[in-house]
Structure 1
Amino acid sequence: MDSKRLLPMADHVRGKRSAVTCQLKCDNQCLGEVCNTTSNGYFRDIASSAVSRRAVLGGSAGAVALFGASRFDAPAAAAPLSEQALAEGRRGARRSPLNFEAIRPVDFKVDEFNVPEGYSWKPIIRWGDPLFADSPAFDPKKQTAAAARKQFGYDNDYTEIIDIPGSEGRRAVMFVNHEYTNENIMFPPTMPIEDQREIGMINHGLTVVELERKNTASPFSYVKGARLNRRIVIDDAYRMTGPAAGSELLKTKADPSGTKVLGTLGNCSGGLTPWGTLLSGEENFHSYFRAEGTSPEEKRYGLTDKATVRGWEKSDPRFDTRNKGFENETNRFGWIVEVDPFDPKSTPRKHTALGRFKHEGANVIVAENGHVVAYSGDDEKFDYLYKFVSKRKYRKNDRRHNMRLLEEGDLYVAKFSGNSPASEIDGKGTLPSDGAFDGTGRWLPLTKDGKSMVEGMSLEEVLVHTRIAADKLGATKMDRCEDVQPSLHSRRVYVACTNNSDRAKPGKAGVDEPNPRAENRDGHIVEIDELGEQTSLRFAWNLMLVCGDPATDENTYFAGYPREHVSPISCPDNLAFDSVGNLWISTDGAPDGIGYNDGLFKVTLTGRDRGRVEQFLSVPRDAETCGPIVRDQEKTVFVAVQHPGEEGTWEEPNSYFPDYDSTLPRPTVVQVYKKAPAKGRGRGRK
């Protein structure tokens, strides 16, 4: 496959965003017809004063406190901050032990991995690295599908690391998504297209791999042949759970039960559950299927009657839903997948109760009343933000019970309301007169107590065609909700809205207070405060960040922090927290944006430095920063470097990351750690 033969986005991207990425990752989604053509707009509730917002404190020390299978417990119930705590917050937030001096932005043509002074970096595992005792060594010129089944997959995205109990931090298990492939730089052009297709299919999916290190001050290495190592690929079985499992909408010729699906596709971000399993979001699955593309349901999910860029439909009839008996195959993708990393023989599950859309991921918090709440964004222009509340309550130290919590519950979609007059939302990002983009919102029920809450749609229809159900309720169209992370410190929820340049175009949704820029090329961060318990149906919100380069855009906003003292940031994607509650943001491209390589950024959320953005690292040319993990108490950070050298070819690579040895670029999970930089490791090489 030559992905560069047809690049419709080539004249529509500037800065570091790759037209090849647009083609392979989402089938040029931005150029196609907007899937959401509903007329539901923005419910405006003009208030005379700003919304009062409570500050609450969670009992957990952050996601890192969950590491260790014996410690997957709920955070303590939140309580209002005392006056003393509020005063301390005004004076300054607790400091993280991971201290660094922010790096300068790196030009998008530079092929380097850059870290702060005093830090070094090391690849943990690369595309093609052998996982099992009998796995062959990676040979880029002699790749086979059989070998790929036993090697680390391509384009690593969401990453999570969990300490193995009893190892005193020296051993861990790592879970990784493999979102998509770029055959144009993976394979020599002489390789038969059929072989490229077969190997590319196997390079999708999921990986579980064990890690080891000498002590917590040393970097990890992966363990070849370890007991927990696992590759889950396109022909492995997944079990459907929840109300839609077995529905007529999920049955196919190959699976008349509607409960057994082969493979997972477009896996983007994910989340760690309090009971020690991993969640993975199926995102841009539409680009793998050829369909009739005529029904409202197909159009709403971006399915079309055109040959796919990878041509899987030529190898497997289920990827052409025009084939009799496979009309429902696309309905079997677009779910949240749950995997148990501690049981290599377990069957992954797809949870229908959380709805079907282009999930960026899902992130879980245990509510004050014991119910589990999962937040998820639908990553497409003008789509929605969702929340799931489990039917049953979390039970401490009852993993068997907790592993069923995502199978039943209520599903909601968000409707935002601003508190500023419409005339003050000018489309440029100018702050309204009250000095903030903020307001309140409601969670609108899509399902409740096992019943559909959408007129004219059955429960199964709501869960399989969730976008259409949310349209009918009039949910707020957002600027690409990607990662949605609840903080275990404040219990506030943070939403990464990556970008959207179409709001001002004829026939499209106009600006509103939660999405205030007509050409939102740099994205923003929404901060949500549930009013009451985490299961509340009302919330307050504000825009924590309005991203961009403050040196060239006067309408950037950093929670009131001086713009001249922040790192420029564009297109927020994945989110994480450190041990003291700072937010960390990884970025994904900057169409028409700031022209720097993607990176990882720390954002202070409390105290006088609230809104301060500091760049911690920068990834190489054409690459995206994914899956951040911040173990600041160990002074170490992990990121998945996805699609380095995306714009290159086999013959003329655009990157040589991570080995810089004149071979092809390889997507890689990297550890950054506090140590005197070793020669040639503190920074990458051009």
Structure 2
Amino acid sequence: MTVTRPDDRPLLSLTPVSREGYRHGSRSYLTCLFKCGNACDHPEPNRTTAGHVQDEIAKAVARRSVLRGAAVGTGALVLGGASATAAAQVPPAAAATAPLAAAGGPLARSRFAPVPPNRRDAVVLPDGFDHHVIIRWGDPVVAGAAAFTPYDLTVDVVKKTFGYNNDYVGVVPLGRDTALMTVNHEYDDQTLMYPAGRYTEEEMAWFGIYSHGLSVVTIKRGAVPGSWYREKNLRKAGHNRRINADTTFVMTGPAAGHELLRTSADSSGRRVKGTLNNCAGGTTPWGTVLSGEENFNQYFNTEGTVPGGVTLASGATLADAYTRYGIAKAAGDPRKWHKYDPRFDLEAEPNEVHRFGWVVEVDPMNPTEAPRKHSMLGRFKHEGASVTIAKNGRAVAYLGDDERGDYLYKFVSAEKYDARRTKAARRHNKTLLSKGTLYVAKLTGNDAGAPEAPYDGTGEWIRLCTDTQSFVDGMTVAEVLVFTRQAADLVSPTRMDRPEDVEVNPVNKRVYAALTNNSNRGSSYPADEANPVTTSGTRTSPGAPLVNQSGNRNGYVLEITPDKGDHAARTFSWDLLLVCGDPESPETYFAGFDKSQVSRISCPDNVTFDSAGNLWISTDGAPTPMGQNDGLFRVPVAGPERGHVEAFLSVPKGAECCGPLVYDGDRSLFFAPQHPGEIGGSTFDAPASTWPHTDDFPRPSVCVAYRQR
């Protein structure tokens, strides 16, 4: 279907998506409610008129006619880490039937038959691969943890066991055959966690508060290459740690101690209890783990009046700042934390919410060290943070603000990274994220581009502040960092469709950003040449009424190339590697690769890389009509197979695929199915999933996949 403008120029229509049983065409109502507080049901917080990334995509679409093409891309699937010219190439048509690599061979050079779309309540892998669960919700993390049962929970049990849901997975080596695995616990779901009528509202609130945070878990190598297991003897797991609402975090950077961060419990504005809604993350070159506080806004509520005093030098009120972050009186709040802990009540503690929305740094090697919240990296709905080292030796962190219409950011440290393997060097490196320069991205389309590069352009990083100087008129350094969204609005960057994980490819040094979707495309942004993904119609079943659909529901993967390969550079070029969705739909694009050869993919969320530089994409929110659970996909970014999307695994019903991490010489693939069975109508007593099938209720878990012997 095409929609025609008054001047008769065609616009692209979105692949039809059924709303049956799902919220906004992809996620279930339960996921929307507990994961992000139904963000898509509320007005987009960014009400500025700044340019949108869709504008640049639309310009490229309007000027070129290669959407249906299958032109060969510009790079290669590098087999076994060899160069593109020396690598053994497998023709695309033969990929699915090519023999697998030798037993125990690295994932980067393995050939596999892509997993077909399915709705199984299981982890599904290609033939020749296996997996197992490392740790589940409720498994003990620290010594003294009592036996877990959802029928007889106590706060003490929750504090010491593996929290609910599991997003980012970071692994750092501890010994020859041991490692430390750090995992985020993103959010709780009262519908799936507790038997009906078993607990009071207050009990569920306190269980939920302590189910958030992070876990550090000792793991050990298994007999099968690539396999890893949890160290169950907790006396041998001295690094294990359960970071929860009792854990004190230290604020760092220029905003630490500012009056906007002071509360009745912490007059210093420097010590914060707990961390909330931790989504993706990153493992730093110095061996610490970063974690992004994402949808923190949903936990704060009020029974009274939201304060409205002037706080910003620009004259904006505190109520204005709340609105820009999606913080409001939420009549449908299912958790009710503010009724039992006053720090979640905006009327009682108007500044407490400013102490969340940061990037957190944890040192898994030092279980007694207080984790840090880095104000220098800005405050917004952080998906995560990925650190690389620039040519000048400075640490560079890439960051995404996971909201419809919000921005991509970059931080460059003031001090240089010390590559020596000494305690002094590590102490120094752990200060790098406290001082430097914070930037926001502006993307511009390239009207003179060649036809073989249909979505591309240039961009610049706009300075917001250093640790000593603000570049935003009317805002101090501390205000820029506490109210980063408002600061960015004032410099007119490019609005993006939910920028989530942003990672640096260790091989080609390019940056890859998952732009998950924007379900309001076509309503918040009317269909025109600047917004090509537009309204279409579909039926949920034969004979059913026509249901209008709108929005960018399948997402993109953005590829950024820093000028001269320097991550400290202020300018870059960009292209869209993927326009996701059903390959049979005209709006999809796979870097020019033959669309008849690729797997269907929707809603890219987290990304990682193997040693050959292949991109691995996990998804969150695959629409029902695509007939598939979410999963993990491998995509070469170079050579004749650039853009060749292949499904490596799918996760159980109702789950999203989190993690992921390729580790141990490409032999191990960590991934984390979270919220299995989170489907409309599902409850603890009548679950839509019982994965991992160790109980009669679902348990979010972390897994590892590897080659069979």
Deviates more, 1:628-637 or 1:308-317: 628-637
Contact 1:14 1:592 in 2 (8 A): no
Residue of 173, 182, 185 corresponding to 1:178: 185
Contact 1:16 1:597 in 2 (8 A): no
Match of 1:114 in 2: 124
Q: CA offset at residue 506 of structure 1?
A: 5.0
Residue of 536, 539, 543 corresponding to 2:569: 536
User: What CA distance in whole angstroms lies between the structure 2 residues aligned with 1:127 and 1:508?
Assistant: 43
1:364 aligns with 2:364: no
User: What CA distance in whole angstroms lies between the structure 1 residues aligned with 2:460 and 2:533?
Assistant: 16
Contact 2:23 2:32 in 1 (8 A): no
User: What CA distance in whole angstroms lies between the structure 1 residues aligned with 2:127 and 2:166?
Assistant: 26
Which residue identity does 1:200 align to in structure 2? Answer: G
Contact 1:312 1:319 in 2 (8 A): yes
Match of 2:691 in 1: 657
Which residue identity does 2:361 align to in structure 1? Answer: E
Match of 1:321 in 2: 346
Structural mapping, 1:502-513, within 5 Å = 502-505=520-523, 512=530
User: What CA distance in whole angstroms lies between the structure 1 residues aligned with 2:664 and 2:183?
Assistant: 21
Match of 2:706 in 1: 673
Pick closer, same or farther for the CA change 1:515–1:448 going to 2, 3 Å: farther
Match of 2:426 in 1: 399
Cα deviation digits, residues 484-523 of structure 1 (max 9, x gap): 0011111100000000132332567977599999721100
Residue of 576, 579, 582 corresponding to 1:546: 579
Match of 1:447 in 2: 465
Contact 2:659 2:672 in 1 (8 A): yes
User: What CA distance in whole angstroms lies between the structure 1 residues aligned with 2:626 and 2:25?
Assistant: 6
Which residue identity does 1:650 align to in structure 2? Answer: F
User: What CA distance in whole angstroms lies between the structure 1 residues aligned with 2:534 and 2:462?
Assistant: 22
Q: TM-score, normalised by structure 1?
A: 0.86
Match of 1:266 in 2: 277
User: What CA distance in whole angstroms lies between the structure 1 residues aligned with 2:586 and 2:452?
Assistant: 18
Which residue identity does 1:139 align to in structure 2? Answer: T
1:599 aligns with 2:617: no
Q: CA offset at residue 131 of structure 1?
A: 1.8
Ranges in structure 1 where 5+ consecutive residues have no aligned partner: 1-8, 63-83, 422-430, 677-686
Pick closer, same or farther for the CA change 1:25–1:550 going to 2, 3 Å: same
Match of 2:50 in 1: 40
Cα deviation digits, residues 49-97 of structure 1 (max 9, x gap): 99xxxx999xxx99xxxxxxxxxxxxxxxxxxxxx9675589789x983
User: What CA distance in whole angstroms lies between the structure 2 residues aligned with 1:103 and 1:230?
Assistant: 37
Q: CA offset at residue 635 of structure 1?
A: 2.7
Match of 1:187 in 2: 194
Structural mapping, 1:246-325, within 5 Å = 246-291=257-302, 292=305, 295-307=319-331, 308-323=333-348
Which residue identity does 1:367 align to in structure 2? Answer: A
Q: CA offset at residue 151 of structure 1?
A: 0.6
Pick closer, same or farther for the CA change 1:401–1:281 going to 2, 3 Å: same
Report SS of the residue matched to 2:463: strand
Q: TM-score, normalised by structure 2?
A: 0.83
Pick closer, same or farther for the CA change 1:264–1:617 going to 2, 3 Å: same
Pick closer, same or farther for the CA change 1:511–1:630 going to 2, 3 Å: farther
User: What CA distance in whole angstroms lies between the structure 1 residues aligned with 2:391 and 2:450?
Assistant: 34
Contact 2:525 2:531 in 1 (8 A): no
Cα deviation digits, residues 630-670 of structure 1 (max 9, x gap): 13735321101100011211210111111x25511000001
Cα deviation digits, residues 177-222 of structure 1 (max 9, x gap): 0000011111112222221111111111010010112456162221
Aligned residues: 622
Which residue identity does 2:656 align to in structure 1? Answer: E
Q: CA offset at residue 598 of structure 1?
A: 0.3
Which residue identity does 2:505 align to in structure 1? Answer: S
Cα deviation digits, residues 441-479 of structure 1 (max 9, x gap): 010000136200001111111000000010000010001
Match of 2:314 in 1: none
User: What CA distance in whole angstroms lies between the structure 1 residues aligned with 2:532 and 2:163?
Assistant: 37
User: What CA distance in whole angstroms lies between the structure 2 residues aligned with 1:192 and 1:655?
Assistant: 25
Report SS of the residue matched to 2:27: coil
Which residue identity does 1:616 align to in structure 2? Answer: F
Report SS of the residue matched to 1:654: coil
Residue of 561, 577, 589 corresponding to 1:557: 589
Report SS of the residue matched to 2:621: coil
User: What CA distance in whole angstroms lies between the structure 2 residues aligned with 1:619 and 1:15?
Assistant: 19
Pick closer, same or farther for the CA change 1:144–1:158 going to 2, 3 Å: same
Which residue identity does 2:106 align to in structure 1? Answer: P
User: What CA distance in whole angstroms lies between the structure 2 residues aligned with 1:233 and 1:10?
Assistant: 37
Q: CA offset at residue 368 of structure 1?
A: 0.8
Which residue identity does 2:342 align to in structure 1? Answer: P
Q: CA offset at residue 297 of structure 1?
A: 0.5
Contact 1:438 1:514 in 2 (8 A): no
Match of 1:523 in 2: 555
Contact 1:15 1:595 in 2 (8 A): no
Q: CA offset at residue 615 of structure 1?
A: 0.6
User: What CA distance in whole angstroms lies between the structure 2 residues aligned with 1:596 and 1:27?
Assistant: 25
User: What CA distance in whole angstroms lies between the structure 2 residues aligned with 1:668 and 1:572?
Assistant: 20
1:347 aligns with 2:354: no
User: What CA distance in whole angstroms lies between the structure 2 residues aligned with 1:463 and 1:16?
Assistant: 33
Match of 2:481 in 1: 463
Structural mapping, 1:599-638, within 5 Å = 599-631=631-663, 633-638=665-670
Contact 2:522 2:533 in 1 (8 A): no
Contact 1:16 1:622 in 2 (8 A): no
Contact 1:90 1:606 in 2 (8 A): no
Match of 1:135 in 2: 145
Report SS of the residue matched to 2:665: helix
Report SS of the residue matched to 1:184: helix
Report SS of the residue matched to 1:30: helix
Pick closer, same or farther for the CA change 1:243–1:514 going to 2, 3 Å: farther
Cα deviation digits, residues 146-174 of structure 1 (max 9, x gap): 1111111110110011121xx32x11100
Report the identity percentage.
47
Match of 1:379 in 2: 402
Q: CA offset at residue 334 of structure 1?
A: 0.3
Contact 1:494 1:526 in 2 (8 A): yes
Report SS of the residue matched to 1:452: coil
Pick closer, same or farther for the CA change 1:501–1:327 going to 2, 3 Å: same
Pick closer, same or farther for the CA change 1:636–1:15 going to 2, 3 Å: farther
1:97 aligns with 2:122: no
Pick closer, same or farther for the CA change 1:628–1:10 going to 2, 3 Å: same
Contact 1:644 1:657 in 2 (8 A): yes
Which residue identity does 2:442 align to in structure 1? Answer: K
Pick closer, same or farther for the CA change 1:352–1:188 going to 2, 3 Å: same
Deviates more, 1:121-130 or 1:503-512: 503-512
Pick closer, same or farther for the CA change 1:610–1:184 going to 2, 3 Å: same
Q: CA offset at residue 23 of structure 1?
A: 0.5
Q: CA offset at residue 395 of structure 1?
A: 0.8
Q: CA offset at residue 133 of structure 1?
A: 3.1
Match of 1:334 in 2: 357
Match of 2:251 in 1: 240
Contact 2:165 2:186 in 1 (8 A): yes
User: What CA distance in whole angstroms lies between the structure 2 residues aligned with 1:408 and 1:187?
Assistant: 44
Match of 2:228 in 1: 220
Residue of 158, 161, 167 corresponding to 1:151: 161
Which residue identity does 2:702 align to in structure 1? Answer: V
